[in-house]
Amino acid sequence: MAAFPQIWTLYLLGLFLSIRPRYCLKASLFLLRAELYSTCSSSHGFHSSAIRAPGGTRLAHTDLKIPDFTEYRRPEVINPNKYSKESGDERRAFSYLITGAVSVLGLYTAKTAVVQWVSSMNPAANVLALSKIEVKLSSIPEGKNMTFKWRGKPLFVRHRTEKEIAIEESVSIAELRDPQHDKDRVIQSKWLVVIGVCTHLGCVPIANSGEYGGYYCPCHGSHYDASGRIRKGPAPSNLEVPDYEFLDDDTISVG
């Protein structure tokens, strides 16, 4: 089973949450914005007023020693005899550069994750795979209509003869119920590609039948011509022409 990208992101989120860094020097990558600190230090002293108790309590607050944090310091501030403000701008610039870069990366990661999550609601691959078909035109002899299954509907691909083309192109649009010129319904006039669903009530017309040399729907008697236009019968509009394109002279991709 294909691993979903969002599972990957979930896993890393869990990993991050389970590893809680204890020190001020935090380094958290993955989904959330990361910042590297090395300036913070904290020390917990206990204010105690026990004076004469032996060992364990201190006498005065001046006995408190700030621990040595040299290990955590950035190189520019290790030397206690150098003013820290001299290197201040550099240190800030570095921190902000890292912050900026990681923010950009984080935003990009977040955007990717969101897009992946949202696009999981898009049609599945198998459905998308069915959405387009390619038809080899050389397998269709002239004058014949071949039917293909496309998106659950019959697709008619008709290799039209010269005579049929001439007839259809010369039909006056004014007398059509659904006026459309033949030129507007085909890319190359030799090939007619229409969806084989009658626009009346959805039956599949029969090819090469009817009074107009095209299709005839047996259910209620709708006659379509060789351009798939309704000529007679109850159907209101022409057979639908789907989106298709010629990949080359021999192949069309429908859908």
Partner 1 sequence: MASSVCRFGSAVGRVLTKTRSPILLSLRRGQASVSYAQSLAAAPETRLTALDNGLRVASEETGHATCTVGLWISAGSRYESEKNNGAGFFLEHMAFKGTKKYPQTALEQQVESMGAHLSAYTSREHTAYYMKALAKDLPKAVELLSEVVQGCSLNEAEIEQQRSVVLRELEELDSNLQEVCLNMLYATAFQGTPMGHSVFGPSSNARNLTRQDLVNYINSHYKAPRMVLAAAGGVKHEELVGLARSHLSGVSFEYEGDAVPVLSPCRFTGSQILMRDDDLPLAHVAIAVEGASAASPDVVPLMVANSIIGSYDLTYGGGKHLSSHLAHLAVENNLCHSFQAFHSFYSDTGLMGIYFVTDKHHIEDMMHWSQDAWMKLCTIVTESDVARGKNALKASLVGQLNGTTPICDDIGRHILNYGRRIPLEEWDARIDAVTPRMVRDVCTKYIYDKCPAVAALGPIEQLPEYNRMRSAMYWLSF
Binding site for partner 1 (CB under 8 A): 37, 39-47, 49, 51, 58-66, 68-70, 77, 79-85, 88, 92
Region of 35 please: left (phi>0), alpha (psi -120 to 50) or beta: beta
Q: How far is the CB of 33 from partner 1 (least distance, A)?
A: 13
Between 83 and 170, name the residue whose CB sits nearer to partner 1.
Answer: 83
Give the span between the Cα atoms of 58 and 51, in whole angstroms.
Answer: 8
Region of 61 please: left (phi>0), alpha (psi -120 to 50) or beta: alpha
Tell me if residue 220 is catalytic.
yes
Between 47 and 243, name the residue whose CB sits nearer to partner 1.
Answer: 47
Between 83 and 124, name the residue whose CB sits nearer to partner 1.
Answer: 83
The catalytic residue among 44, 61, 220, 223 is 220
Between 45 and 100, name the residue whose CB sits nearer to partner 1.
Answer: 45
What strand order describes the sheet that includes 213-217? Answer: 206-207, 213-217, 222-225, 230-232
Q: How far is the CB of 97 from partner 1 (least distance, A)?
A: 15
Query: Nearest Cα to 199, choosing from 171, 174, 230, 168?
Result: 230
- Cβ pair 77, 92 in contact under 8 A: no
Q: How far is the CB of 34 from partner 1 (least distance, A)?
A: 13
DSSP state of 66: P
Q: How far is the CB of 99 from partner 1 (least distance, A)?
A: 12
Q: How far is the CB of 74 from partner 1 (least distance, A)?
A: 11
Give the span between the Cα atoms of 199 and 215, in whole angstroms.
Answer: 12
CA 92 to mean position of chain CA atoms? 39
Between 22 and 47, name the residue whose CB sits nearer to partner 1.
Answer: 47
Backbone phi, psi, residue 245, to 5°: -145, 155
Rg (CA), the chain: 38
Tell me which residues are annotated as active site: 220
